[in-house]
Amino acid sequence: MVDGVFRRALRSNVRPIELGRRLVHEMDDKRTVDSQGRRIAPNVFRFRLNPADIEQLAPVMSALENELVEAAREYANDEGYHLIGSVAVTLTGDETVKSGRITISSETRDSAAPSGSRGAVLVLPGGKRTDIGPTSVVIGRLPECDVTFDDPNVSRRHAEIRFVAGGWAVADLGSTNGTLVNGTPITDERALRDGDIVSIASHSIKFEVA
């Protein structure tokens, strides 16, 4: 397994190396065999941690997710697992998960958008438009986020917009002040429709289907 963040001593109730172990166990548990006899492993993983643990990991979150992606690729290669799409890993906050605990879910997903699917656009404050496709867009205060707000009321990794099942959804990443869609706070992943307004602190982002 790759090193880097996994081997660093962090002041966190969740050890990064344990996330790596849970990921490869998930691949073993959820592998299937297709009609061609190939062993298919999941390629999209979502970890749920207590929001306090997410906050502790925030300074290394981007690097940690990247290393988990590399760990999944390496493990698939070592075990002869076939991945039908690119690997994606996200860590999100969930108040129902006790501090120090880890829950993980996974799925096998072709990372390419279905033929004929439409793109989408985020209209940011000030009118700037950002095209999005079948990839995740992280919104927060950290410079490495895809959409950044220099605002103390915005958490370092506040929310994420992701492509799911032929459409898009937004999820709060255990933020301090929450995420709203059309003025309603969300507690889990929420599907987005053309014209929806995602509010983060005092910032409003309009979601449009191209």
| pLDDT tens digits, 125-170 | 988 888 887 778 999 999 888 899 999 999 999 999 988 766 889 9
The predicted structure's pLDDT at residue 114: 46
pLDDT digits (tens, 9 = 90+) for 64-122: 888 999 999 999 999 999 998 888 888 888 888 899 999 999 988 775 544 444 678 99
Cβ-contact 159, 200 below 8 angstroms: yes
What are the φ/ψ torsions at residue 90 (nearest 5 degrees)? -130, 145
3-state SS class at 56: helix
- The C-alpha atoms of residue 81 and residue 73 are separated, in whole angstroms, by 9
- The C-alpha atoms of residue 124 and residue 86 are separated, in whole angstroms, by 28
| Of the candidates 106, 25, 90, the residue with the CA atom closest to the CA atom of residue 54 | 90
